[in-house]
Structure 1
Amino acid sequence: MTLRNDPLHHVRAIVARQDGVMTAAQLHDAGVGRGTIRGMVRSGAWTRLFQGAYWVRHHPRGPSLRAQVRAVLLMAGPNLVAAGPTAARLLGIQGLPHDPTLHFAAPYAHEVRNRPGVRVHRTVLRPEARTVLRGIPLTTPARTCADLLLALPREEAVSTLDSALHQALLTAADRPAVLSHLAGRRGAPRARAWMRLADHRAESPLETRIRLICQDGGLPPPVLQWPVCDPDHACGYRLDLAWPTHLVAIEADGRTPHATPHALYHDRTRQNRLATLLPGLTLLRFTWADAHAPEESILTPLRQALRVP
């Protein structure tokens, strides 16, 4: 099904500014009737995101997170901002649990209600807690991390904070701002304690998880990102967590970076070279599956390598 040239041109001009999203009212103003809208949705050319909002594009992976957020913002009007896990995903923060729900923050007097797939959090949102990312209003990294620290379990909360620090979305100078956003809120004392566990050197949520497991098991790694020089190849290596005096190190093998045949070959070559550079090195490699059975899969072999009870 196709549209008449004039309405289609108008639609394309608007969706280019709105992440591919238009409301039913905007489509009507552009000369697109209800029957045409229904036909485009039935044909799969358009996607109905929410009542009165449509993704007027087609992609095999479906509408992006930005498109879904944009649809809610267009329907809800001003004063609504993406928040919590949704703001974190827009910012690129890693370590979040799977949650298809879109989260927003709104003033207490805002009339927008929760709907399937959308949760609106009533809160006081000071001007310094708001920002805009490529046209999408959302909470700042400091406010977003404060919200995550209050809402997530410890391992995931610290992982998201590590990710924000590693990507320089947050810096040490932002600590007072995060503390300010925590002040007076339920769970703030616990969240402040978790902030002390964060480390900007963690390069993945799995590294954070393994580090916390080691700390909880009484074996905190003294060095993160241990540098190992290779003078013969004018390059160097970094080991994720290390006990250098014991010649013991841990590598966190996440799902994606180490899954391809090329990556497996590179990891083997790298490990062989490390064995040459550091004779006697014990290099332990752990995956997400190991993190789900920490005592047996991580702490026991680590204690054996460190030769501690």
Structure 2
Amino acid sequence: MTISNEVLQRVRATASYQDWVVTAPQLESAGADRNTVRRMLRSGRLVPLTRGSYWVGQDDQGPSLRSRVRGALLTCGPQVVAAGPTAARLLGIEGLPEDDGTLHLAAPPGHEIRSRPGIHVRRTTLSPTSRMTLRGIPLTTPVHTCADLLLQLPRMEAVSMLDSALHQGLLTQPDLRRIPPLLSCRPNAPRARTWLSQADARAESPLETRVRLICLDGGLPPPVLQWHIPDPAQGCSYRIDLGWPTHLVGIEADGKAPHSTPQALYRDRSRQNRLSTLLPGLTLLRFTWPDTHHPPSILIPLRQALQLP
């Protein structure tokens, strides 16, 4: 038997408002009985997400994070929200460890939802000011999300996460002062509080944050972030990611995506040549992500350039 076009249209109409997700009751309301659902699953028109939710296939890459979160939340009621790394990724915060596919949710004590493979549930009572809605998906606010992650992440990732949230305007300096009370009486709170003072909104990428922390941990003078170099002749200015202007030493943190194309390599070379003209004697060092896994590869040439022991 074929699947009725009217049924398919009703299913897709419902899914289009929910990140292309539908629930089992919504399928039934659209006229899809159990046999129809089975045929839609076999044909790939439906992809199971969580118990009782399905993705209406729209992308060869599979369901997005939003779709997977929507599927989980549609089946467990309005008291449950996305939290932790999942909330951070929905907010666009960078610097997190690689996503292993687990959805992190927060539910009030006594709620029936339980952790299971692919879903981690934390029991907590959230105040109304600790939750928000982002394009239809309930989640913890940036302040609450960052507080939770400070307790869970290693230092490099934690400070990178804070830098990203500050740089994007998801957090403000006053917001940072609201985080310590959220850490009280929780595991790892003392160390997490000390990391708050290391956050800097000027960092434009997690790679810049990691290089900066390595420099500070290595005992080097604090660098200037986004060192501006004016170019009056061309009516513009350049920025060096991290720098020590009095020593004429700068660092460029070369992320793979922005600097890997031939066009980017040409622009980088032209830019570096211009900077050498504007600042004779400038030493500009370039570091990539693998360098941050071996700090001496950053600290040794940098100490030499700064003429430090």
Note whether the superposition's TM-score is higher than 0.5. Answer: yes
Q: Is the 8 A contact 1:221 1:241 kept in 2?
A: no
Stretch of structure 1 that moved more, 274-283 or 42-51: 42-51
Partners in 2 of 1:269 and 1:222 — Cα distance? 24
Q: Which amino acid aligns with 1:7?
A: V
Q: Is the partner of 2:237 in helix, strand or coil?
A: strand
Q: Is the partner of 1:301 in helix, strand or coil?
A: helix
Partners in 1 of 2:2 and 2:274 — Cα distance? 60
Partners in 2 of 1:125 and 1:185 — Cα distance? 15
Matched, 1:308 2:297: no
Q: Is the 8 A contact 2:80 2:107 kept in 1?
A: yes
Q: Is the partner of 2:144 in helix, strand or coil?
A: helix
Q: Which amino acid aligns with 1:36?
A: T
1:275 matched to which residue of 2? 276
Q: Is the 8 A contact 1:46 1:58 kept in 2?
A: no
TM-score, scaled to structure 1: 0.97
Q: Is the 8 A contact 2:202 2:226 kept in 1?
A: yes
Q: Deviations over 1:17-71 (max 9, x none)?
A: 2111011221122111222222222222321112321101320121111110000
Matched, 1:41 2:41: yes
Root mean square deviation, CA, Å: 1.3
Alignment of 1:105-254 (within 5 A): 105-254=106-255
Q: Is the partner of 1:236 in helix, strand or coil?
A: strand
Runs of 5+ in structure 2 lacking a partner? none
Aligned-pair identity in percent equals 65
Partners in 2 of 1:33 and 1:112 — Cα distance? 26
Q: Which amino acid aligns with 1:18?
A: Q
Task: Measure how far apart 1:185 and its partner are.
Answer: 1.6
Q: Which amino acid aligns with 1:98?
A: E
Task: Measure how far apart 1:14 and its partner are.
Answer: 1.1
Q: Is the 8 A contact 2:3 2:39 kept in 1?
A: no
Q: Is the 8 A contact 1:146 1:181 kept in 2?
A: yes
Q: Which amino acid aligns with 1:105?
A: A
Q: Is the partner of 2:109 in helix, strand or coil?
A: coil
Partners in 1 of 2:222 and 2:274 — Cα distance? 23
Q: Deviations over 1:158-215 (max 9, x none)?
A: 0000000000100012123222221222211111100000000000000000000000
Q: Deviations over 1:232-253 (max 9, x none)?
A: 1111111111111110000000
Matched, 1:18 2:9: no
Runs of 5+ in structure 1 lacking a partner? none
Q: Deviations over 1:209-230 (max 9, x none)?
A: 0000000000143311100011
Count of residues in correspondence between the two structures: 308
Stretch of structure 1 that moved more, 54-63 or 85-94: 54-63
Q: Is the 8 A contact 2:163 2:209 kept in 1?
A: yes
Partners in 2 of 1:107 and 1:195 — Cα distance? 28
Q: Deviations over 1:87-123 (max 9, x none)?
A: 0000000001012111011111111001211100111
Q: Is the 8 A contact 1:80 1:104 kept in 2?
A: yes
Task: Measure how far apart 1:2 and its partner are.
Answer: 5.8
**Counterparts in 2 of 1:208 and 1:168: CA distance versus 1, 3 Å:** same
2:93 matched to which residue of 1? 93
Q: Is the partner of 2:32 in helix, strand or coil?
A: coil
Q: Is the partner of 2:187 in helix, strand or coil?
A: coil
